[in-house]
């Protein structure tokens, strides 16, 4: 399923222009969405892949905390100057793309298909760490090692939410919201040329980091009530 990404990164993406990049991105995500559904539904149902109403509240609660943490960390750092363009039509298009396509496709693939396959194979611990590693490696070719590290952190938190919630529906909306805010706050950021940006608001950095690295993980691993789903009822050793 991932084999077409090799020639895409080596030949296609370096040659596409701004006018055609969006079209190729839509094609790529439709491909991943269709592939995840085709492979997953041959063996499991939509509920097994996480497309069910269970656990939406905890997904939105923890996902909202992750979103706030990322925003605070972004605001705490002095980034290169930028002027994001925002019109109502542009915003609607971004919501449809990032929530209805990117969020849906990536969550269904990584926290849906890959997570459930690994969970079925060897339990929640392998599902959490395996899907997190796959999510990070998927982003390295386009975002570099720094981007891969960031997606590893977010992917781990999302996988823990998937473990506790038992579904990916809330994560689809959270994923889309995170991508939308990143596209407006850092529209021209090149992680490979970033260097070491200056922290201009340390308090916001501390609060944002605490949400990502302490509050959300502690709540998910230790404080959240045991879910009723028997598949998720045993705490994985981490």
Asked if residue 165 is part of any domain, the answer here is yes
Q: Provide the pLDDT for residue 216.
A: 95
- Model confidence at 237: pLDDT above 60: no
Would residue 35 count as lying in a domain? no
Identify whether 150 is part of a domain: yes
Is residue 198 domain-resident? Answer: yes
pLDDT of residue 234: 53
Domain interval for residue 113: 47-232
Token pair in block for residue 35: 């592939």
Q: How many domains does the chain have?
A: 1
Residue 127 lies in a domain: yes
- The mean pLDDT of 189-196, rounded to a whole number, is 57
For residue 123, tell me if it sits in a domain: yes
Q: Higher confidence at residue 72 or residue 190?
A: 72
Residue 24 within a domain: no
- The pLDDT-based confidence of 230 (bands split at 50, 70, 90) is very low
> Tens digits of per-residue pLDDT, 4-59?
655 565 556 556 666 677 788 888 899 889 999 999 999 999 999 999 999 999 99
Residues of the chain with pLDDT > 90, as a percent, come to: 56
- Asked if the structure places residue 37 within a domain, the reply is no
């Amino acid at each position: 399923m991932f084999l077409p990404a090799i020639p895409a990164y080596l030949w296609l993406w370096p040659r596409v222009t701004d006018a055609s990049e969006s079209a190729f991105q839509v094609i790529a995500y439709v491909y991943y969405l269709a592939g995840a559904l085709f492979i997953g539904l041959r063996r499991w149902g939509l509920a097994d892949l996480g497309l069910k109403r269970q656990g939406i509240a905890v997904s939105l609660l923890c996902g909202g905390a992750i979103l706030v943490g990322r925003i605070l960390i972004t605001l705490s750092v002095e980034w290169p100057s930028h002027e994001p363009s925002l019109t109502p039509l542009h915003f609607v298009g971004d919501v449809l793309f990032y929530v209805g396509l990117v969020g849906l496709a990536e969550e269904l693939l990584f926290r849906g298909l890959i997570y459930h396959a690994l969970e079925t194979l060897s339990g929640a611990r392998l599902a959490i760490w395996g899907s997190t590693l796959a999510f990070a490696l998927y982003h390295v070719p386009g975002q570099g090692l720094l981007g891969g590290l960031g997606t590893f952190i977010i992917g781990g938190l999302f996988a823990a939410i998937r473990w506790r919630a038992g579904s990916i529906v809330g994560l689809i909306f959270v994923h889309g919201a995170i991508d939308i805010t990143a596209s407006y706050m850092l529209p021209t950021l090149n992680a490979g040329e970033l260097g070491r940006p200056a922290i201009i608001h340390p308090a916001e950095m501390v609060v944002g980091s605490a949400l990502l690295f302490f509050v959300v993980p502690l709540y998910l691993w230790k404080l959240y009530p045991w879910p009723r789903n028997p598949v998720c009822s045993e705490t994985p050793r981490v």
